[in-house]
Amino acid sequence: MGGAYADANSPDASRSRDTEPVRTPRSPTPGVELRHAEQRFLSRTDGARTLHSFSFGEHYDPTNIDFGPLMVNNDHLVRVGAGYPDHSHRDAEIVTWVLSGSLVHEDSRGNSGLTYPGLVQRMSAGSGVVHAERNDAYRIDPTLPAQPVHFIQMWIRPDEAGVAPSYQQGELALGDLARDWVPIASGRHSDAVVSLGSASSTLWVSVLPTGISRRLPDGDLLHVYLARGLVDVDTIGRLEPGDSLRLSGGAAQLRLSAREEAEVLVWEMAREEGIRR
């Protein structure tokens, strides 16, 4: 990665570069950091907009580099026919979760795939890989609608640097998300949809129907991202789309209550002891 923040060769790093005003995060409860959607960095291109939860490329805040092994939480909206041409990554576990639309992936290892709601993609960049992402699945399959793609892409620091790159994708029944937390990507849960090169990290996803409450997963560190909908959180208050919580020190036993149907992404992580090189 060349540093604690995003690879300068990433597609968003080469384009600029609006930065929203940053308000001091509110910490209403010990071990809880609430970050509002408008605190994210903003990058625009002719075909895409990206909102960055952490420092990324030319967007740099030394107080907001990462949270545990989570280095990147980017919220992308890409118009029809647009995308990110070939760009390189290394030493990152890159997980892509699509909220709506579809995304085409191709990489220098010969992997290709179509990602859409319910299908998760994991690319382990390892010693180095080049890939491209495009919103043009309709060209491959004319039965697919031509529409913007909205997706969250997250990077986890791997346990070991310089490993051989790898790729995996897997699908789940979307209805499962309404019943409980589902392990989407994990280095510790064998029933996760895809594996992860970080033994202590798990991405949990759940969809809370209106009026349903659900307790957060337990963990040493939790990063909670509200992808869509509205939820109320015990002792914290209302979360709106793009808001996030960073929980540590046993502050994870909080309950979410959906004011309207909500999709929530939670990274359960351990404090890092250093990457092996």
| pLDDT on residue 128 | 93
Mean pLDDT to the nearest integer, 118-134: 95
Can you tell me which residue has the tokens 């929980």?
247
Report pLDDT digits (tens) over 4-47: 333 433 333 333 335 444 444 455 577 899 999 999 999 999 99
Query: Which domains does the chain carry?
Result: 11-269 (2.60.120.10)
Mean pLDDT to the nearest integer, 172-182: 97
Report pLDDT digits (tens) over 68-93: 999 999 999 999 999 998 888 999 99
Report pLDDT digits (tens) over 185-242: 999 999 999 999 999 999 999 999 999 999 999 999 999 999 999 999 998 999 999 9
Tell me the pLDDT of the chain averaged across its residues. Answer: 88
